Structure 1
Amino acid sequence: MLTIILIITFIASIAGSISGVGSGVIVKPVLDALCDYSASTINLLSGTTVLAMTIASLIRSRSHSVKIDSSIGTPLAIGSAIGGILGKLLFSMVIAGSGNDQLVEIIQNLVLASLTLLVLLYLGFKARIRTIHINHKIGTVMIGLVLGVVSAFLGIGGGPINIIVLCFFFSMDSKTAALNSLYIILFSQIASILLSAVTGSLPSLSWLLLEMIVCGVGGALVGSIFTRKMTHRAVDVVSIAMMAVVIGLSLFNAVKFLIQ
C-alpha cells in the first residue's frame, strides 16, 4: 500500500508540475481511496506534498523561457494566501459542525469532481472561447482569494480551477498559466499550513509525510525537465488526462463514503 501511494505521488507530481494543476488533485483522492486517515490528516499529507512539489518546480523553472507574470501572479498570490487561511477555517468549521469525517469527504470529492468537469469542458472547447484580460488589482486579488478558499477547503493545494481562471480571465497560454498557477499554490499552501501550525491543529507527522515530500520534490524536478521540451498542446493533453483521472477517483470516493 505504501509503495503504491509513493509511486502515485511521484507520477502525480510530474503531471502536476507540467500542467500547473499541482499533485494534490490526484494525491488527495488516492489517499481518500486507500487510507483510513482522518480528513485533517489527509489534507495535511496532500497539502504539504503539494507545497514541496511547488517549491521545487518554481526553483527549477528559473532557467526556463516561460516566466511568472508578477503583475498578475503577485496579486493573485496575495489573494490566494488570504483565501488559504479562510479556506482552512471553513474546513475546520465544517469538520466541527458536522462531527462526521465521511460527510466532509463526500462534500470534498463531489465539489472536486464538479469543478474538474467544468475545467475539462473548458479545455475541450477553449479554442472557441473568447478570453478577457483583467487589469484591476483589487479584482485580481479577489479572484486569488476565491482560488485560495477552494484549494484549501478541498485540501488539494491548487487544483484545475487555477488553470481555467488564468487562461480565461488573464488570457494566458498553457505553459504560462501552469507556472503562474504553481506560484499561486505556493502562497495558498504556506498560509494554510502556517495557520494549522499556529492553531495547533496539525496532525502528528509520520514517515509517510516525509516520504511523500521526497516523491513530490522528485516528481517536480522530473516534470520541469519535460516541461521545457513540451508544446502547449502537449501540456493541455497532460491536463486533460489528469482531469479525467480526478473525476473518476472523486466519484469513486464519494460513492465509497456514501455506502460505508
Structure 2
Amino acid sequence: MIIFIIYFLIGLIACTAGAMAGLGGGIIIKPLLDMLGHYDLSTIGILSAATVFSMSVVSLVKVRNSSLHINWRNSLFIAIGSIAGGFMGKGIFNYFVIHSGLSMVIGIIQSILLAILLIIIFIFMKYNHRIKTYQVQNRALILFVGLILGLLSAFLGIGGGPLNVALLVYIFSMNTKDASINSIFIIFFSQLSSLILVATSTGFAPYDLSMIWFMVPGGILGGMIGSSLVKKISTSVVERIFNITLLIIILITIYNIVMELV
C-alpha cells in the first residue's frame, strides 16, 4: 500500500508543479523513478509519458477560458517539429537500450546530459531578464527548433517541459507564465506521439505498467490543481516555482549520477 501511495504522490506532485510552471512533470518523474530503481528506462519512459499526457489534457481544458495566452501558430509549429524529433529521439533511445543492451551506460549518459542541460536552463531562466530575446517568425526555423527539442526530450525521457519554457522565452520573448501554458500545449502532442510510437512498435504488453493506475490519477489531480493555481498567481511566482523545482531536480539528478557511478 505504501508503494502505491508513493507512486500516486510522485504523479501528483510532479504534475502539480509541472502544470503551474510548464515543466510538464516528466522532468520530475524520471529522476525520482531513477532514484527508486524499481523499473528500467523504457518502462519509466512509458509511465512518465502516460502520467504527463493525462496532466496536459486536464490542464488545457482547465485554462481554455482563462487570460493565459496560447500562441497557437508558433506553438503548433514547435509541436509538429517536436513530434518528428520525438520519433527520432525515441528511435535512437530504443536502438541503444533495447537492441544494443547498453541500458546502464545510456542511463548514466542520460543523467549527465540532463544535469548539464538543466544547469544551463536554470542559469538562463534566473537571468533571462538580462539576456536578449527574439520574436522569431520563420516557420522553417521554428520547425527545426521543435525537431531538436523533441529529439532531446525523447532521448532524455523528460517530456520537454523546462526546454520548452526556456526556448519559448528565448525565441518568442514570452513571459514565463505564458510560456508555461504554451509548453503544456506542446507537451500534449509530444507525449501523445510517444505513446502512439510505443503502441505501434513494441506495444505495452512487454512492460510492467502496474503503477500506471496510481500515477495517472495523480497526474490528473495534479493537472487540475496546478492549472487552477496558475491562473491565480503572478508571473514572478511562476518563475520562482520554475527555478526552485529545477534546482531540486538538478540535485536529484546529480545524486543519481553519483549512485550509478559508485
Does structure 1 retain, via aligned residues, the 8 Å contact 2:96–2:103? no
Does structure 2 retain, via aligned residues, the 8 Å contact 1:44–1:155? no
| Cα distance in 2, alignment partners of residues 157 and 33 from structure 1 | 18
Does structure 2 retain, via aligned residues, the 8 Å contact 1:152–1:189? no
| RMSD of aligned residue pairs (Cα, Å) | 1.3
**Match of residue 243 from structure 1:** 246
Shift of 1:205: 4.9
1:105 aligns with 2:107: yes
Please give the per-residue CA displacement for 1:179-224, whole angstroms capped at 9, x wherever unaligned: 1111111111111211111112534353311210110010010001
| Cα distance in 1, alignment partners of residues 98 and 26 from structure 2 | 23
Give me the TM-score of the superposition, normalised by structure 2: 0.95
Q: Secondary structure at the match of 1:177?
A: helix
Matching residue within 83, 86, 91 for 1:84: 86
Does structure 2 retain, via aligned residues, the 8 Å contact 1:20–1:179? yes
**Match of residue 21 from structure 2:** 19
Matching residue within 228, 231, 236 for 1:228: 231
Please give the per-residue CA displacement for 1:118-168, whole angstroms capped at 9, x wherever unaligned: 111011111111101110011111111111111111111123111110001
1:148 aligns with 2:146: no
Matching residue within 3, 6, 10 for 1:4: 6
| Cα distance in 2, alignment partners of residues 2 and 158 from structure 1 | 26
Gaps of 5+ in 2: none
Does structure 1 retain, via aligned residues, the 8 Å contact 2:11–2:218? yes
| Aligned length, in residue pairs | 259
Shift of 1:102: 1.6
2:257 alignment partner AA: A
Does structure 2 retain, via aligned residues, the 8 Å contact 1:5–1:30? no
2:189 alignment partner AA: F
Q: Secondary structure at the match of 1:56?
A: helix
Does structure 1 retain, via aligned residues, the 8 Å contact 2:121–2:162? yes
Matching residue within 27, 36, 40 for 1:38: 40
- Bigger Cα displacement from structure 2, 163-172 vs 194-203: 194-203
1:12 alignment partner AA: A
Alignment of 1:1-260 (within 5 A): 1-96=3-98, 98-202=100-204, 203-259=206-262
Gaps of 5+ in 1: none
Does structure 2 retain, via aligned residues, the 8 Å contact 1:115–1:160? no
Give me the TM-score of the superposition, normalised by structure 1: 0.96
Shift of 1:247: 0.5
| Cα distance in 1, alignment partners of residues 12 and 165 from structure 2 | 21
2:221 alignment partner AA: G
Please give the per-residue CA displacement for 1:33-57, whole angstroms capped at 9, x wherever unaligned: 1132111101111111111111111
Does structure 2 retain, via aligned residues, the 8 Å contact 1:120–1:240? yes
Q: Secondary structure at the match of 1:65?
A: coil
Amino-acid identity (%):
36
Q: Secondary structure at the match of 2:67?
A: coil
